[in-house]
Chain A
Amino acid sequence: MKLFDYARTARASEAVELVAARPGGAFIAGGTELTNLMKDGVLAPDLVVDVNSLPLDHITLRNGRLSIGATARMRDVAEHPVVREHFPVVSEALLASASPQVRGRASVGGNLMQRTRCWYYRDPGSPCNRREPGSGCPALKGQNRWHAILGGSDHCIAVHPSDLAVALAALDAVVLTLGPDGRRSLPLRDLHLLPGGTPHRETGLRHGEMITGVEIPQSPLARHSRYLKVRDRASFEFAVVSVAAALTLKGRVVSDVRLAFGGIAPKPWRSPKAEQALRNRPLTEVTIAMAGRALVKDATPREHNAFKVDLVQRALADILETLGGKR
């Protein structure tokens, strides 16, 4: 790791001022992501501001909204009785993430801000448009088994690795931030950016802007939600594909549905057309297959990841059948 200055504060406004004043400044909470990126030379902040003393670790349900502070730990959110009962997809996504050690440490804000696991991004010896604009993307024609089939560009096909972000995208969560220009909120689905021609612009946050928390609306949908993660081994691994689904039925007819997908796109992927294929229709093998086809209609598979086109449809069918009570 290169040398850097370290600061700690219990005031969010001061943390923001400190980072905003230094172009090379960064926030640190759990540290489970930033320390690796610094060791690998992917990031080299010259100032690290420790936000663990900020009073931002709450998990509260009030007025129909679940409010989770940015420094709440993955483990504490996953195990919280209110989250388990009213937002099961969030708990399941978190419990399917990382390892117990990491979950006990890693924060909600840091989880959302984690970088792609693309091995070309993680290797500073390799070109990467995301890390070094204009240097090229070896994944397009290289080892791209883990890469995106939707939402990528000719400049980058990296996928976002957060399971939590996929669950939050399905539940229409809102991200709260504090920046040099004050407080604001933005939909979770606008936090991560598609690469287009500027893959180095990874999120919609400005320098010095810090996530202070997320809010999730309570609803019958959220209560009837699940997370399915498909990975190369049973535990402690990132998703090859994943699905967050929330579903309400009237009889066998889908009254409402939310779907979000991980492992297939550079950001948590919502598919309004797949949802549309199900809404106000009976939940049958036929409508589920239609939703799957709508999801992958515009897919651009690469040499090593074409299997994801089938796999994500099967994962969708599996979770919908589970949620619909067919198995």
Chain B
Amino acid sequence: MHRLTVEARVTLLDALRDRLALTGAKKGCDRGECGACTVLVDGRRVKSCMTLAVMEDGRRITTVEGLTRGDRLHAVQEAFIRRDAFQCGFCTSGQIMSAVACIDEGRTGSDDEIREWISGNLCRCGCYPNIVDAVRDGARNAPGGGAGEAGR
């Protein structure tokens, strides 16, 4: 739990990065178009550049830093490495957070479904085929196996 005093105009993304030094969430467009800043708020994926930190008072925020258990990477992180699902890596933490939520929502039934439900995350390097592969693998290996929210 973190206690912070911030100006009302500080976005959740800026509070995470500049005040809490949690730099996993990236600032790409800062307009909700690229998805690099995706985090989970009470389990739901959110673009953290589009919400004010004060609006999230008391909520549980999960960033990519919070996915690991000790030294063990999350199944989706493992899948991104195994599938080489990035080039420059700037969008990756947002892709991974979005993928974790996408799996949790049960939207990984086919490659087309994955493409549609991960479409809020852009990759300028164009690693989409490998990202789809990684999400598919992640869904298979994640806790709950991508069986939807009940499997959390």
Contacts and interface: CB of A to CB of B under 8 A. Distances in A.
Contacts, number: 85
A39 B8 contact: no
DSSP majority for the A interface?
A: loop
Given A28-B55, A36-B32, A102 B47 contact: yes
Contacts of B102: 100
Contact of B46 (A3, A4, A8, A101): A101
A274 to B, nearest CB: 30
Given A100-B101, A101-B35, A235 B115 contact: yes
Contact of B44 (A5, A32, A104): A104
Nearest to B112: A234
Interface string B1-25: 0000001110100000000000000
Nearest to A7: B8
Interface in A43-96: 48, 50, 52
A307 interface: no
Contacts of B49: 35
Contact of A101 (B54, B55, B116, B120): B120
Contacts of B44: 104-105
Contacts of A114: none
Contacts of B38: 101
B45 A35 contact: no
Contacts of A5: 8
13 contacts: A2-B9, A3-B9, A31-B50, A32-B32, A35-B51, A36-B32, A36-B50, A38-B9, A100-B117, A101-B45, A101-B47, A102-B120, A104-B44
Given A36-B32, A234-B116, 11 more contacts: A6-B54, A30-B51, A31-B51, A35-B32, A48-B52, A100-B120, A101-B38, A101-B45, A102-B32, A235-B119, A236-B120
